[in-house]
Chain A
Amino acid sequence: MDKRTRQDSFDKEYTDSLNKLYRENSGLAGFKWFLDAAHRWAYRPVEHDVVILGAAVPEELVIASGAEPHWFIGGSLGSTEWSDELVPRDTDPVSRSILGYINRPGIDCSDAMFIIPLTNDSMRKIAYILKSEGRKIFTVDIPPDRSDKHAVKKYAKQMEQMCAAISAHTGSAVTRRSAAAAMKLVSGARAALCRFLEVSRGRTDIITDSARAFVQNSYYMTASVGEWTHRLEELSNEVEYYALRTKNKERRRPGVMLAGSPVLFPNYKIPFLIRDAGLAVYDTADYITLRSMVIYNSETLHGSRSRLIESIASQWCRYDASSSYVKNDVMYEYISYIIQRGNTEGVVFHVLKGQIEYDFELERIEAMLSERGIPVFRLETDYQYQDVEQLRIRMEAFSEMLVQNRIRKVKRAS
């Protein structure tokens, strides 16, 4: 595939997803800003930025170091084509897409600094590829076992080193004040996201599931966290306004939980399919969603610079639900909590090809859900669109099963 065709396929996927989201949610005035932000991000120059690969690093420390983080979290089939020759066949699409974004023609990342959390094998080897290319990198080695008594200390030490490396890049040191301000800023953004997810929960008649997921993803495409928070508050108000005044027309849709590998923009075939199959995503259980729950209270915002960094490290180590741990108890407990809360009639467990960590975690989750009588649908896919029709058939069958379950329950109750 030549350069032009690759660029075209990237642009097409990106704009198609944006257009579809817009078409489905054109009634929401506040939503358009997020679409525009994502569009701007796709063509935004990287230059001297601090680039975070994936979402497993506390951005508050990057902000405190005087940088606006530029995330590459993957999600694009188009971008994987720029990394196809650099990685083995079985590499997961997220890592491929991240590496593709870095190698995208026309986007010069040569002066950027890359923060690479070593969450899996692919990221570890991507770090090696980037280092061999002479790029400026900093790796964050996540301690894999939470029961290791040195885990928090190790992580905090790395955060200190990361701050020093970013400060050397930006020329701005992390101070107690800058750290506290950044913690406050991201806490505000996360609180706004939690509120948005709550007010829009189950209201697919006002905002679609894919749009909810997109708003969540758009955090990683924003140039200003402050503005994003403000716009999100406005959007939440708008959704709340409509929710109070309109009756939920789509409440008949069976409610499912979307768990496993995070669904990342622009590859939204899964949420689009879920909607097409007549289901509604009530909750999402992935590490990105759980990250939005790391909110610092006023007590944590006091203390010395190193104490603030320690409290960030401790919160991240405790609540990180990424699959980079030997045992992902945080995710297990969160799913268990959501199920207890009710409304979940089934679970769609999304596994991206090559992300076997999620598959390993599924066994335990499946056992817990089966005890509670919740059916699980394991959906394995990659970023290609060829399997859409196959997935559609399976998703429709799952939806049909959930409807039948409902009918059975009603019959049993009567």
Chain B
Amino acid sequence: MMTKRTETLKQRQDKRFINKETQTAAKYLRRVKELSGAPDGMEPFYNTLERIYVDMDYADSGTYSHTVGTYCVMTPPELIYAAGAMPVKLCSGNYTAFSVGDDIAPRDACPLVKAVAGFKQTGLMPVYEDCSLMVVPITCDCKKKIAGMLSDKCDLMTLHVPASRNDEDIEEFTAQLYDLIERLENATGNAITYESLSDAFRTVGYAQYELSEFIRLKKQMPYLIRGSHSMAILNAASYMTAADWGKALHRVNGSLKKRIAEKKTVTSKKLPRILLTGSPIVFPNVKIPLLIEETGGIVAGDETCMGERGMWDPAVITDNSFDGMMNALANRALRPCPCPTFADNSQRIYRIKQLIKENQIQGVIYHVLRGCLVYDFEYKRIEDELGKLGIPVIRLESDYNEEDIEQLRIRIEAFIELIKLKQEPEKITAARRSF
């Protein structure tokens, strides 16, 4: 039983936590907003991030009666929508929650997992507390163990992500998705039917279509949108329904099309075009894209699971039956995914090479969150492969705190300078129209 004194202490701690958490989130949101060249229609995304992290409110689930927490990109959102619930991605980038989680999770655990543990421990983050079920795909050791810890605090289901992706693995994963249906139905009280699943495919498909359009526009013309703005859009997808997010993205796409027609870009200068890959960049931990863009580069490509990778691949239905749809979901979750959880992940190299080509990338920043061993393991191979192409790469290791910002700034600045030196000098011609 809590005494009056400990109760006051707890209240004071909670208040401090809320203050620090909201201040950090507000600061990073403001820095993203302050970057020049944001397209029209960004408000819904900013408002969502503000609602979740600054106002500390529940996710706006609209007509959906429940929310289901998910981690990683392997949980099919279609199944959750079909059960009448809204998926909320709970991977966290919060510094304050990280510092709480630091006392709970082992020292060498990755900061993302520590932040999740921190939020769950404080019980102060509505999006975490509101979940009727959490679905944790086991993609790394930290996720595996945090699932064990979280299962004591909430209803949780794990998904065994196989190390390879052959037909048998897909079949086994499909069987797990059938188990997930059962759990979702129990958690929400709604049955998943052929119709509800088809509707969910359409809902998610619309958002994916808008995203593919967004990616197509970005590729078409360099410097059309800043990477930090693009990341804010993609991070907001975690807390918006697919329909709302798709609608909001449609407006941004319209604005980008207008820019192309008017030949407007975010800058008149020829900025080094950077591809960001490696460990996920989760709001509010957007210090790396912000540093890149504040020090004179532009994040032109993003190969992280909280970025384009998260929603890019649509499910391909080759058989119109219920089973066919389930197979399509399992295939989509595993086959195209370049997550380093897979033992053989050669396709990530092809994906990076493809992004380099399509986005005219001049340098790659490989982001490694401290303790994220799976990404660290793949660095060497990627460095070798990109070395053959003459693309410079740097490995940036960081944590969820602001202490390393100046160190990171120096390294990023030097990297950008290096690319600029390689670049042909800009020709000063007629003034370009820019923001």
Contacts and interface: CB of A to CB of B under 8 A. Distances in A.
Contact of A354 (B108, B147, B176): B108
B377 A88 contact: yes
A145 B106 contact: no
Given A88-B379, A118-B343, A326-B151, A141 B144 contact: no
B212 interface: no
A360 B162 contact: no
Interface stretch (B134-142, B279-287, B313-321, B355-363): B134-142
A340 B228 CA distance: 57
Contacts, number: 114
Contacts of A157: 168
A205 to B, nearest CB: 38
A260 B149 CA distance: 18
Contact of B160 (A90, A121, A144, A363): A144
A124 B147 CA distance: 19
B376 A88 contact: yes
Contacts of B9: none
B165 to A, nearest CB: 11
Contacts of A132: 381
Contacts of A87: 377
Contacts of B151: 326-327
Interface string B294-309: 0000000000000000
A353 B108 contact: yes
Contacts of B141: 120-121, 356-357
Contacts of A128: 343-345, 377
Contacts of A154: 160, 172
B343 A127 contact: yes
Given A87-B377, A90-B376, A356 B145 contact: yes
Interface in B148-200: 148-149, 151, 158, 160, 162-164, 168, 172, 175-176, 179
Given A144-B138, A148-B160, A91 B148 contact: no
Interface string B104-118: 111111000000000
A145 B157 CA distance: 9
Q: How large is the interface on A (under 10, 10 to 19, 20 to 34, 35 or more residues)?
A: 35 or more
B126 interface: no
A167 interface: no
Contacts of B140: 121
B39 interface: no
Contacts of A90: 108, 371, 373, 376
A326 B373 contact: no
A121 B142 CA distance: 9
A125 B172 contact: no
A228 to B, nearest CB: 32
A120 B151 CA distance: 20
B142 A356 contact: yes
Nearest to A327: B148
Q: How large is the interface on B (under 10, 10 to 19, 20 to 34, 35 or more residues)?
A: 35 or more
B172 A131 contact: no
Contacts of B377: 87-88, 91, 121-122, 125, 128
Contacts of A131: 343-344
Contacts of B24: none
B105 A360 contact: yes
Contacts of A88: 373, 376-377, 379-380
Nearest to A85: B380
A143 interface: yes
A54 B124 CA distance: 42
A283 interface: no
B172 A145 contact: no
A88 B374 CA distance: 9
B253 to A, nearest CB: 38
Contacts of A124: 163, 341-343, 374
Nearest to A129: B377
A125 B163 contact: no
B69 interface: no
B343 A360 contact: no
Contacts of B344: 127-128, 131
Interface string A79-97: 0000000111111000000
By Cβ-Cβ distance, the 3 closest A-B pairs, closest first, are A359-B106, A360-B145, A88-B376
Interface of A: 86-91, 118, 120-122, 124-125, 127-128, 131-132, 139, 141, 143-145, 148-150, 154, 157, 324-328, 353-354, 356-357, 359-363
Interface of B: 104-109, 138, 140-142, 144-149, 151, 158, 160, 162-164, 168, 172, 175-176, 179, 340-345, 371, 373-374, 376-381
Given A120-B141, A359-B106, A363-B149, 14 more contacts: A90-B373, A91-B373, A118-B163, A121-B377, A124-B342, A139-B163, A141-B162, A141-B163, A326-B144, A326-B158, A328-B148, A354-B108, A359-B109, A360-B149
